[in-house]
Amino acid sequence: MAETTQATGAGLPRGFRSAEQGWPELHRIPHPPRRVPLLGDVLGADRRRPLQDSMRYGRELGPIFRRRAFGKEFVFVWGAPLVADLADESRFAKHVGLGVANLRPLAGDGLFTAYNHEPNWQLAHDVLAPGFSREAMEGYHGMMLAVAGRLTDHWDRQLAAGRTVDVPGDMTRLTLETIARTGFGHDFGSFERHRLHPFVTAMVGTLTYAQRLNSVPGPLAPLLLRTAARRNAADTAYLDRTVDELVAARRRSGGGDGDLLDRMLATAHPVTGERLSAENVRKQVITFLVAGHETTSGALSFALYYLARHPEVAARARAEVDRVWGDTPLPGYDRIARLRYVRRVLDESLRLWPTAPAFAREARQDTVLAGEHPMRRGAWALVLTPLLHREPEVWGEDAERFDPDRFTAAAVRARPPHTFKPFGTGARACIGRQFALHEATLVLGLLLRRYELHADPGYRLAVGERLTLMPEGLRLRLERRQRPVSTPGDDDARLRRVGATGPDRATDV
Ligand code: HEM
C-alpha cells in the first residue's frame, strides 16, 4: 500500500487544481443556482461556516455537487456509493488541498500535511506507528487518568463555587495536556491558568487563518488578509518557538521514557536505518500537538452536549460505568474498551459532528467515479463526512436524531462499508484513532460516574468552525453524584497520584 501511495502526486502540477482541469464532464455535476460571473457561488454564503454552508448546498443539490469561488471550482461528494468508490485505495489516495494545504507553512511535510510522494511520510509513519500500538496505549493509560484527575479537580472547584463549566475550553485543556504529557513528557499547566494556554490561542489562530484563505481570491489574499497574515506569522513563530524549546529540553535531559518524542529523535527506520531530520521533527511535534488534541476535544464536547440533552442516554451510560467499573477508583486499561455503550455515545456524536469534517481524495490514474463521472489523474473531490453520516438511504429517515444504538454490533454489521468515516480512510487515515477513542471513552466514563450533567435549557447548539468543529459557548451545570460506596476523598487523591505509577491493578478486578 505504501508503495502505491508514494507513486501518486509525483509529476502532477503543483498548487491548486481547479475542477474543470480534472473533471471532463463537470457540466453534469449540479451547482447552486445563483452563480455570479467572476465571483462564483457566493450569494448567501457564510464565510465563517463554510462546512455548514456546504451541508446546506449538499442537501439541495444531491450526493455530488460543485461550488465555485473566485475562479476556483471544487467538487463535493457525500453519497454513500460515491464515497465508497473514493475509498478504493487502488484508484484513489489522499489529496492535500484546501485547508490541509494551507497548513503546509506550519506543518510542512509532517504526517498530516505531507504529500503522498514525499519520502518523509513513509519514514515518519513507520517510525511513529509503534507509538500507537496496544502496548504503547497501555503505557499512556496512567497518564491519561492523571490528567483526567486534574479535570475533575477543576470541575469540583467550579461546582463548589456555584459556577457552570466551560465545556470546549476544559476539554481543550484536558486533551492538550494529555497529548503533551503522553507524547512529549511536557506540561502546559492548562488547568492552572484562567485563560487557555497561548499555544492554544496561536493554534486556533493558524487554523482559522487556513480556513479563511479558502474564501478569498488567491491573488488578492495578501492584500485582503494583510493584518490576519501578520498575526498568522506571529502565531506560527510562537508555535515553532514552543516546539523548539520543548525539543531542546529533551535533548538536554538526554531522553524520556520511549514516548513519541523519543521515537522522533532517536529511532531509526527498521529497514532503511534512516532518521527524521531536525526540521522534520519540528513539523511532527507541531502536527501531533495540534492533531492530537483539537479534534478529540471537539468530540468530547459534542458527546457531553448530547449526554446533557438526553438524560435517558446518560442514565444508561452511567449504569454501564457503574456495572463495568464497579467501585474501582482507577479503572485499568482493559476496563475502558468494555464501556460499549459509552463508546456508542461517542460514535454517535462523531457521526453527527465528525470534528474533522472533510477529507479530500484524488485519482491516482484516469478513472470513472462510481461508473458515472470521469476523472483525470490528479482530479480530486472533498468528502463531506457530516452529510455522508446523515445519508437517509444508509441511516434512515431519522438520520438527524441522536441514537447511540445505531452502533450496536448488529447495526454496524448491517450497514455497507465506508459509511462511517470520522477518521478518514486508507493509508492516510488517522494514526491517533485508538488514542483518541481510549482517551475520550475513559474521560466520559469518569465524568458520568462523578457528575449529573445539566445543559441550560435555553442553549441552542451552535457549531463553530476553524477547519475543525466545536460546539460554541456550551456550558454545563454539574451536580455531584452520590455514590454508594468508597470515600470520594480517597478516590480523588489516588486519581491525582496515579500519573506517576499507572493504575493500581490490584483494584482492577
Ligand atoms: C476524535 C479525534 C480525532 C479525529 C476525529 C481525527 C480525524 C482525522 C482524520 C479525518 C484524518 C485524515 C485526514 C485526511 O485524510 O486528510 C486524520 C489524520 C491524522 N490524525 Fe487524527 N483524528 C483524531 C485524533 C487524533 C489524535 C489523538 C492524534 C494523535 C495523537 C491524531 C493524529 C493524526 C495524524 C498524525 C494524521 C495524519 C495521518 C497520516 O496522514 O499519515 N489524530 N485524523
pLDDT tens by residue, 308-331: 999 999 999 999 999 999 989 899
Average pLDDT over residues 160-186: 95
Q: Is the distance from CB of 369 to CB of 375 less than 8 angstroms? A: yes
d(CA 195, CA 200): 10
> How many contiguous H segments (helices) and E segments (strands) does the chain have?
22, 12
- Report whether residue 172 contacts ligand 1, using a CB cutoff of 6 Å: no
pLDDT grade for 11, boundaries at 50, 70 and 90 = low
Ligand 1 centroid to Cα of residue 67, in Å, is 26
Instruction: Check residue 507 and give its pLDDT.
Output: 27
Q: pLDDT tens across 327-339, in order?
A: 898 999 999 999 9
Nearest CA residue ID for atom 27, ligand 1 = 292
Active site residues: 295, 423, 430
pTM over 0.85: yes
- Report whether residue 430 contacts ligand 1, using a CB cutoff of 6 Å: yes
- Report whether residue 285 contacts ligand 1, using a CB cutoff of 6 Å: no
Q: Please report the atom of ligand 1 found closest to the CA of residue 112.
A: 37
* DSSP-derived 3-state class of residue 228: helix
- Report whether residue 438 contacts ligand 1, using a CB cutoff of 6 Å: no
The better pLDDT of the pair 68, 342 is held by 342
Ligand 1 centroid to Cα of residue 356, in Å, is 8
pLDDT grade for 495, boundaries at 50, 70 and 90 = low
Would you call 149 exposed, middle or buried from its count of C-beta atoms within 10 A (0-12, 13-18, 19+)?
buried
Nearest CA residue ID for atom 14, ligand 1 = 359
Nearest to 98 by CA among 164, 145, 54: 54
Ligand 1 centroid to Cα of residue 434, in Å, is 10
Percent of the chain clearing pLDDT 70 (strictly above): 91
- Report whether residue 297 contacts ligand 1, using a CB cutoff of 6 Å: no
Nearest CA residue ID for atom 21, ligand 1 = 430
- Report whether residue 136 contacts ligand 1, using a CB cutoff of 6 Å: no
- Report whether residue 426 contacts ligand 1, using a CB cutoff of 6 Å: no
pLDDT, mean over the chain: 89
pLDDT grade for 502, boundaries at 50, 70 and 90 = very low
Enclosing domain of residue 90 = 2-507
Mutation probe of ligand 1 site: the residue of 184, 297, 430 with most atoms within 8 A of C-beta: 430
Nearest CA residue ID for atom 6, ligand 1 = 423
d(CA 204, CA 466): 7
Percent of the chain clearing pLDDT 90 (strictly above): 74
Ligand 1 centroid to Cα of residue 432, in Å, is 6
CATH number where 203 lies: 1.10.630.10
Instruction: Check residue 318 and give its pLDDT.
Output: 97
Q: Please report the atom of ligand 1 found closest to the CA of residue 100.
A: 16
Nearest CA residue ID for atom 41, ligand 1 = 428
Nearest CA residue ID for atom 18, ligand 1 = 430
Nearest to 289 by CA among 222, 354, 226, 203: 203
Radius of gyration (C-alpha) of the chain in whole angstroms: 23
Tallying the residues shown for the chain, one arrives at: 509
Q: How many domains does the chain have?
A: 1
Which set of grid coordinates corresponds to residue 55?
451541508
Neighbours of 56 (CB within 10 A): 16
Ligand 1 centroid to Cα of residue 423, in Å, is 6
Nearest CA residue ID for atom 16, ligand 1 = 359
Instruction: Check residue 4 and give its pLDDT.
Output: 36
- Report whether residue 94 contacts ligand 1, using a CB cutoff of 6 Å: yes
- Report whether residue 332 contacts ligand 1, using a CB cutoff of 6 Å: no
- Report whether residue 435 contacts ligand 1, using a CB cutoff of 6 Å: yes
Q: pLDDT tens across 378-387, in order?
A: 999 999 999 9
| Residue showing cell 493504575 | 503
